[in-house]
Amino acid sequence: DQQVKQNSPSLSVQEGRISILNCDYTNSMFDYFLWYKKYPAEGPTFLISISSIKDKNEDGRFTVFLNKSAKHLSLHIVPSQPGDSAVYFCAVAYSGAGSYQLTFGKGTKLSVIP
Protein backbone atom coordinates (compact mmCIF):
# COMPACT_ATOMS: atom_id res chain seq x y z
CA ASP A 1 0.00 0.00 0.00
CA GLN A 2 1.50 3.27 -1.14
CA GLN A 3 1.99 5.79 1.63
CA VAL A 4 2.92 8.55 -0.80
CA LYS A 5 1.08 9.05 -4.06
CA GLN A 6 1.91 11.22 -7.00
CA ASN A 7 -1.06 10.56 -9.22
CA SER A 8 0.21 12.35 -12.31
CA PRO A 9 3.02 10.40 -13.97
CA SER A 10 3.69 13.29 -16.31
CA LEU A 11 2.96 16.97 -16.82
CA SER A 12 3.65 19.33 -19.73
CA VAL A 13 3.80 23.07 -19.23
CA GLN A 14 4.64 25.98 -21.50
CA GLU A 15 7.77 27.94 -20.64
CA GLY A 16 6.97 30.92 -18.42
CA ARG A 17 3.77 29.41 -17.05
CA ILE A 18 3.24 27.85 -13.64
CA SER A 19 3.96 24.17 -13.00
CA ILE A 20 1.98 22.55 -10.20
CA LEU A 21 3.02 19.11 -8.98
CA ASN A 22 0.87 17.31 -6.46
CA CYS A 23 1.47 14.71 -3.78
CA ASP A 24 -0.85 12.94 -1.34
CA TYR A 25 0.12 10.96 1.73
CA THR A 26 -1.84 8.61 3.90
CA ASN A 27 -0.34 8.80 7.38
CA SER A 28 -0.99 11.90 9.50
CA MET A 29 2.11 11.07 11.56
CA PHE A 30 4.35 12.33 8.77
CA ASP A 31 5.68 15.73 9.77
CA TYR A 32 8.43 16.61 7.33
CA PHE A 33 8.00 16.87 3.59
CA LEU A 34 10.49 17.30 0.77
CA TRP A 35 10.68 17.64 -2.98
CA TYR A 36 13.50 16.26 -5.08
CA LYS A 37 14.36 16.73 -8.73
CA LYS A 38 16.03 14.02 -10.78
CA TYR A 39 17.66 14.29 -14.17
CA PRO A 40 18.42 11.13 -16.18
CA ALA A 41 21.64 9.38 -15.12
CA GLU A 42 21.91 11.52 -11.98
CA GLY A 43 20.87 11.04 -8.38
CA PRO A 44 17.94 13.00 -6.94
CA THR A 45 18.73 16.57 -5.93
CA PHE A 46 17.04 18.20 -2.97
CA LEU A 47 14.83 21.15 -3.92
CA ILE A 48 12.76 22.37 -1.00
CA SER A 49 11.21 21.13 2.22
CA ILE A 50 8.52 22.04 4.70
CA SER A 51 7.75 20.97 8.23
CA SER A 52 4.25 20.30 9.49
CA ILE A 53 4.21 23.50 11.55
CA LYS A 54 4.08 25.54 8.35
CA ASP A 55 1.71 25.61 5.41
CA LYS A 56 3.98 27.31 2.91
CA ASN A 57 7.67 27.58 2.17
CA GLU A 58 9.17 29.59 -0.64
CA ASP A 59 12.61 29.52 -2.25
CA GLY A 60 12.99 31.58 -5.37
CA ARG A 61 10.80 30.15 -8.12
CA PHE A 62 9.82 27.16 -5.98
CA THR A 63 7.03 27.17 -3.40
CA VAL A 64 5.77 24.18 -1.47
CA PHE A 65 2.28 24.22 0.03
CA LEU A 66 1.13 21.84 2.75
CA ASN A 67 -2.50 21.08 3.56
CA LYS A 68 -2.36 18.83 6.60
CA SER A 69 -6.09 18.27 6.87
CA ALA A 70 -6.16 16.99 3.30
CA LYS A 71 -2.78 15.22 3.65
CA HIS A 72 -1.72 16.96 0.48
CA LEU A 73 1.29 18.93 -0.62
CA SER A 74 2.10 20.65 -3.84
CA LEU A 75 5.11 22.18 -5.52
CA HIS A 76 4.66 25.32 -7.57
CA ILE A 77 7.31 26.40 -10.03
CA VAL A 78 6.88 29.85 -11.50
CA PRO A 79 7.92 30.82 -14.03
CA SER A 80 8.73 27.39 -15.47
CA GLN A 81 11.93 27.08 -17.47
CA PRO A 82 13.09 24.38 -19.92
CA GLY A 83 15.85 23.44 -17.45
CA ASP A 84 13.14 22.44 -14.97
CA SER A 85 12.30 19.45 -17.17
CA ALA A 86 13.01 16.47 -14.91
CA VAL A 87 11.30 13.91 -12.72
CA TYR A 88 10.08 15.36 -9.43
CA PHE A 89 9.76 13.15 -6.36
CA CYS A 90 7.79 13.97 -3.27
CA ALA A 91 9.17 12.49 -0.02
CA VAL A 92 7.82 12.36 3.51
CA ALA A 93 9.35 11.65 6.89
CA TYR A 94 8.30 11.02 10.45
CA SER A 95 10.43 12.50 13.19
CA GLY A 96 9.55 9.91 15.77
CA ALA A 97 12.30 8.46 17.89
CA GLY A 98 14.92 6.66 15.85
CA SER A 99 13.32 7.47 12.53
CA TYR A 100 15.30 9.15 9.77
CA GLN A 101 14.16 7.49 6.62
CA LEU A 102 12.28 9.12 3.77
CA THR A 103 9.39 7.54 1.89
CA PHE A 104 9.14 8.55 -1.75
CA GLY A 105 6.36 8.84 -4.26
CA LYS A 106 6.73 7.41 -7.76
CA GLY A 107 7.55 10.75 -9.30
CA THR A 108 6.07 13.10 -11.88
CA LYS A 109 7.91 13.78 -15.10
CA LEU A 110 7.72 17.49 -15.89
CA SER A 111 8.32 18.69 -19.43
CA VAL A 112 8.64 22.43 -19.93
CA ILE A 113 8.06 23.31 -23.55
CA PRO A 114 10.02 26.30 -24.93
Partner 1 sequence: SAVISQKPSRDICQRGTSLTIQCQVDSQVTMMFWYRQQPGQSLTLIATANQGSEATYESGFVIDKFPISRPNLTFSTLTVSNMSPEDSSIYLCSAQRDRNTEAFFGQGTRLTVV
Beta carbon of residue 46, minimum distance to partner 1 (angstroms, whole number): 4
Taking the least distance from each CB to partner 1, the nearer of 36 and 85 is 36
Closer to partner 1 by Cβ: residue 42 or 114: 42
The DSSP letter of residue 49 is E
If the CB atoms of residues 15 and 72 are measured against partner 1, the closer one turns out to be 72
Q: Are the beta carbons of 76 and 58 closer than 8 angstroms?
A: no
**Residue 105 DSSP SS3:** coil
Q: Which residues bind partner 1 (CB under 8 A)?
A: 4, 31-32, 34, 36, 41-46, 49, 51, 89, 91, 93, 95, 99-107
**Nearest distance, CB of residue 40 and partner 1, angstroms:** 10
47-67 burial string, b = 16+ CB within 10 Å, else e?
Answer: bbbbeeeeeeeeeeebbbbbe
